């Protein structure tokens, strides 16, 4: 099986990893000018710690999102209800991390093992 160029993302609730999806799945506008805009992030407001509630729908179900290959800790906050992302770091810094992550390669068949290792 060949290698796919994908960006893995892990949703984390405190320390336990509960889901893995592909970075591409998060992209809402491929033609947007910046990586943040591609992900639908318009606001420049940053949340160093998990926000109390979603700034879009006010849900309290916010989880940390780690983009593998980009940054080895939480990079975004994602609302589990409306799926909107919020920044943890300033946009310029976030763009830099995402750019680093674009060279990250993995093999989809390794994911099961990976999930076992980190689970």
**42: which DSSP letter?**
-
Spell 44-78 as b/e; 16+ CB within 10 A means b. Answer: eeeeeeebeebeeeeeeebbbbbbbbbbeebbbbb
The C-alpha torsion from 36 through 40 and 44 to 85, rounded to 10°, is -100
**50: which DSSP letter?**
-
Task: Tell me which residues touch Zn ion (CB under 5 A).
Answer: 54, 56-57, 59, 79, 81-82
Q: In the bound complex, what is the minimum distance in angstroms from residue 81's beta carbon to Zn ion? A: 5
In the complex with Zn ion, which residue's Cβ is closer, 54 or 65? 54
In the complex with Zn ion, which residue's Cβ is closer, 26 or 54? 54
In the complex with Zn ion, which residue's Cβ is closer, 68 or 79? 79
In the complex with Zn ion, which residue's Cβ is closer, 6 or 79? 79
For residue 89 the two structure tokens come to: 């770091």
Q: In the bound complex, what is the minimum distance in angstroms from residue 79's beta carbon to Zn ion? A: 3
Q: In the bound complex, what is the minimum distance in angstroms from residue 86's beta carbon to Zn ion? A: 9
């Amino acid at each position: 099986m060949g290698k796919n160029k994908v960006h893995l993302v892990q949703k984390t609730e405190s320390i336990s990893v509960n889901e893995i999806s592909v970075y591409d799945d998060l992209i809402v506008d491929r033609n947007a000018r910046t990586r943040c805009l591609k992900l639908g992030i318009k606001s420049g407001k940053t949340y160093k710690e998990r926000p109390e509630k979603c700034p879009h729908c006010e849900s309290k179900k916010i989880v940390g999102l780690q983009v593998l290959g980009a940054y080895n800790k939480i990079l975004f906050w994602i609302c589990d209800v409306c799926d909107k992302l919020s920044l943890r770091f300033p946009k310029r810094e976030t763009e830099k991390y995402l750019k680093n992550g674009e060279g990250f390669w993995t093999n989809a068949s390794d994911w099961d093992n990976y999930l076992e290792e980190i689970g």
